[in-house]
Amino acid sequence: MDDLTHHGALGTTMTATPPEQPLVMPTQSLHEAPKVRFRQSSLLTWTARIITFGGAVALTVFGFQQMMLVFGGQVNSFLQGCLLVLFTVTFGWIALSAAAALSSLMRFFQRRPKRAEGELTLRTALLMPVYSEDPATTCGALLAMGEMIAERGHGDDFEIFILSDTRDPETWLQETAAYSELRDKLAGKISVWYRRREKNVAKKAGNLQEFVERWGARYDAMLVFDADSVMDPDTMIEMARRMQAEPNLGILQTVPMLCGGRTLFARLQQFAGCVYGAAIARGTAAWQGNDGNYWGHNALIRVRAFAENCGLPLLPGRLPFGGHVMSHDFVEAALIRRGGWDVRMDPDLEGSWEGSPPSLLDLSVRDRRWAQGNLQHIKVIGAAGLRWPNRAHFGIGIGSYLMSTIWLAMILVGLALTGQALILQPQYFPQTFQMFPEWPVFDAERMWYLFALSLGMLLLPKALGLLSSLLSTRKRRAMGGAIRLTVGAVTEVLLSALYAPVLMLLQVSQVAEILMGKDSGWSAQSREGAAMPWTEALARHWKHMAIAIVPAIGLAYLAPEQLLWLSPVLVGLLLAAPLSRWSGSPEIGQGLAKLGLLSIPEERRTPEVLQRAEAARRAFAKVCAVRLPDLVKLPGLRDRHAATLLMRPQPRGDEHLARLTARAKIDAAETIEEALSWLDRAEMTAVLGSPDLLDSLGRFRPA
């Protein structure tokens, strides 16, 4: 570290980061692939793949044939052809989900993964990348996990590393205050490090890459968290043992469960994840085998495999499709697998949690970024050397954001066909000198049958998850018994059906923005809920409600029998504003909790690590209550912040402009309040990043 120095404001020297141990991370080519040999997938994996993809193809062909029979065996118009294509795609998408859920039955034949016995030799970094997150929440979780790991005698096998990309000056100050407290509390138990990047190039992917290139050789593995992640220490230790036992394992992904939600929407999501998520995850894991995926968090990654294969290239073209890879996790999993490493998800690894968006619009904000990232994979799906299951992951991710547009198009084509039948007179003799008429054919009874089949396939994954939960005595009791579990499932299905059309239009709008070249940017996520005012709800959703009113009135007057088909969509859109407002309501969420509805096991019997994380969060909230004026008012705050700085000496004349203007304003100010009122965001960031500027604040006396 010849050119790097850690500084304390009053001349002290502390170390916020360990000595650098670089690891080369070359940029990967999407046009050339390494030559590696892969082990043959197991018979169980191939069986699951046949069930999933073979079953989906068979069902799709069947659906296509039945839809042709609805039209009398032939397509007689352009609109009918469009409806046939759109229905087949939609039916096939539903069939894939249903078939994948059926492949979860393969779990009864799977063996438990290998586990290393004896001493744990894998050195693991617990990485917490943050971007303007609540430091009390992140450090509270890290304190709970760090203490419990140490209590199990593995404090030397793990190290905590906070990787900050925070841009807001006050949040940065709160982060360093929380980090200092965290480090003090875990002193002698487990090592804790902190680093903030001056420039957050390539967002989270760049954050992880910079860590690997500077400290990667220090660790064998890294367990990557999100800001709202919590994991049971026994799960983390078990993951390390499994990776140690299998030298070719590159990524080991858990199945994070949603928890901690207080609002209606958050409780809806976490209930669905708890009841249905396990069955879906088992099916996905069954057909993935060692060609698995990575969700960006709550996963253990072998650092060497990551460094060798995950230097992400800049994608050609302009934003939003070009530039840095946004949804980097799918790409990293595919590249690690391309390099010959195994990528696996183990659904039996419990004790892995994350938070959920508190409202419908918060989910939409997150989905906007995910939509752009997944559509960006169009430029990656054809990369050389990828395994076909990884291409399938990309295809499913892309399809998940295009399906809303396809669903909407199918509804519009159906309405157009209805209008055509009502307004236009059928031509029974479209050709001159035609002897026999061509009667319009529409088999309504067969259409109802297809509708029922589609609905059954749509609900099959949920039905399997509910059945599995009911048959599990432990889970059934933990969720309040069979009656509450069943009523909760019915409630979830009904509310999800109402929210679905609103989400459809939101996603269609997002896809349209992306295709028009609008970039999503990268903003901090909202993790707290509140019911929005009625004025805001109406302002955000009046268009959705208006879109539903016109066809509802038209169908009620001209074709009331068709209204039944569209009623689930129209009702959801007509109620868009109240549904969205209520989605973020903690009062409704807590009211359901008191009734025992939409409950999850973690609410009835909270795991110790979650209890300790919440208690620590409340304690850290007091530590994080600091504001910028406290740099003068609170003794030691400047020193503790300065101790986290890692400065690179700058040549004379090359000092950042913001530092120069900040120094001039501080020298001219008479009070700390006056100085802070003059400093803009860039200048305040420069002050917090400069030990001498922090020292210059010492001339102000506390008010």
The full 3-state SS of 318-358, as one line of letters, equals CCCCCECCCCHHHHHHHHHHHCCCEEEECCCCCCEEECCCC
What pLDDT is attached to residue 111? 78
Q: What pLDDT shows up at residue 3?
A: 38
> Within 13 Å of residue 477, how many CA atoms lie on the same side as its CB?
3
Which of 17-21, 64-68, 94-98, 429-433 comes out lowest in average pLDDT?
Answer: 429-433
Which whole number is the average pLDDT over 651-675?
Answer: 84
Give the pTM: 0.93
Scanning 289-438, the segments in alpha helix (DSSP H) are: 303-309, 328-338, 360-376, 388-423
Rounded to the nearest 10°, the torsion over CA 512, 518, 519, 525 is -60
Report cis status (omega within 30 of 0) of the bond before 568.
Answer: no
For residues 622 and 139, the answer to whether their CB atoms sit within 8 Å is no
Q: What are 33-62's pLDDT values in tens digits?
A: 999 999 999 999 999 999 999 999 999 999
| 192 phi, psi to nearest 5 deg | -130, 130
More confident of the two residues 572 and 560 = 572
Please say if the pLDDT value at position 533 is more than 70: yes
267-315 per-position pLDDT tens digit: 999 999 999 998 899 999 999 999 999 999 999 999 999 999 999 999 9
Burial of residue 436 (CB within 10 Å: 0-12, 13-18, 19+) is exposed
Helices (H), strands (E): how many in the chain?
27, 12
Would the pLDDT of 70 be above 70? yes
Give dist(CA 115, CA 428) in Å, integer.
72
Using one digit for the tens of pLDDT, what is the confidence trace for 140-176? 999 999 999 999 999 999 999 999 999 999 999 999 9
Q: What is the pLDDT of residue 439?
A: 47
Mean pLDDT over each residue of the chain, to the nearest integer = 91
Q: Is the pLDDT of residue 521 over 80?
A: no
- Our measurement of the distance from residue 161's CA atom to the centroid of its chain's CA atoms, rounded to an integer in Å, reads 21
Q: In the structure, what pLDDT confidence band is assigned to residue 5 with cuts at 50, 70 and 90?
A: very low
Tokens 């700058």 found at:
650
pLDDT, average across residues 595-605: 93
Q: How far apart are CA 554 and CA 558, in angstroms?
A: 6
* Sign of the alpha-carbon dihedral angle for 575, 581, 587, 590: positive
Section 451-476 average pLDDT: 95
Q: What is the dihedral of CA 267, 270, 276, 280, to 10 degrees?
A: 150
Average pLDDT over residues 670-691: 94
Q: What is the mean pLDDT of residues 546-574?
A: 87
Beta-strand pair 191-196/158-164:
parallel
Weakest-pLDDT range from 321-335, 372-386, 545-559: 545-559
Strands 342-345 and 221-224: unpaired
**DSSP assignment string, 562-615:** HHHHHHHHHHHHHTHHHHHHHHT-HHHHHHHHHTTTT--HHHHS--HHHHHHHH
Share of the chain above pLDDT 70, in %: 93
pLDDT for position 13: 45
Confidence tier at 511 by pLDDT (50, 70, 90): very high
